[in-house]
Amino acid sequence: MSNLPNEIEVLNFHSIVDDRGSWLRVFDTLKSKNSDLCFSQISISNNILKGTLRGLHFQKIPFSEYKAIACLNGSIYDVVVDIRKDSVNYLKWYSTYLSSSDNKFLLVPPGYAHGFLTLEDDTQLIYGMDKVFSPKHYSGIHWNDPKIGVNWPDMPKVISDKDSSLPWL
């Protein structure tokens, strides 16, 4: 992972495994710096093929959202981009790998665009967001914008028309 700014967190959770299977607490506000975080929406992203790219997405003010992301199956290369114009880290990007076996949860605060590239077939993610989705406030940045320069591990093989047509900076 690249050096994360203080406001982005990666939380590790311990899985309990026995003869029945496993149990994992997916999120615990006491482990986060943001102990007031409360989810308004929980979504699941199913991705059939390795090389599927989604992003870079965000919601504009007043619907800027806190996102919590974990990988339920497969693995991803996860990217966040600081889009706060007044930040010293404006347009800097950060990355991490998430997989179904690492018990990690990535917490992304408002003011960051988010995207990922699947590294395996049949990759599934769970998202928690603290704001409801507002189509009027939805936005994004082209995944390959040279002003950001994300170093993706592979070229994407599957990108939606919507994501392919996201604006360049």
Annotated catalytic sites, by residue?
A: 57, 127
User: Would you give the distance in Å from CA 90 to the centre of its chain?
Assistant: 18
CA dist list (Å): 57 to 25, 108, 128: 27, 12, 14
The half-sphere exposure of 35 on its side-chain side, counting CA atoms within 13 A, is 2
Q: Residue 164: which H helix or E strand, with range?
A: helix 161-164
Reduce the DSSP state of residue 149 to 3 states and report it. coil
For residues 103 and 14, the answer to whether their CB atoms sit within 8 Å is: yes
Token look-up 């311990």 returns: 14
Distance CA 94, CA 3 (A): 7
Four-residue CA torsion sign, 75, 57, 134, 10 = positive
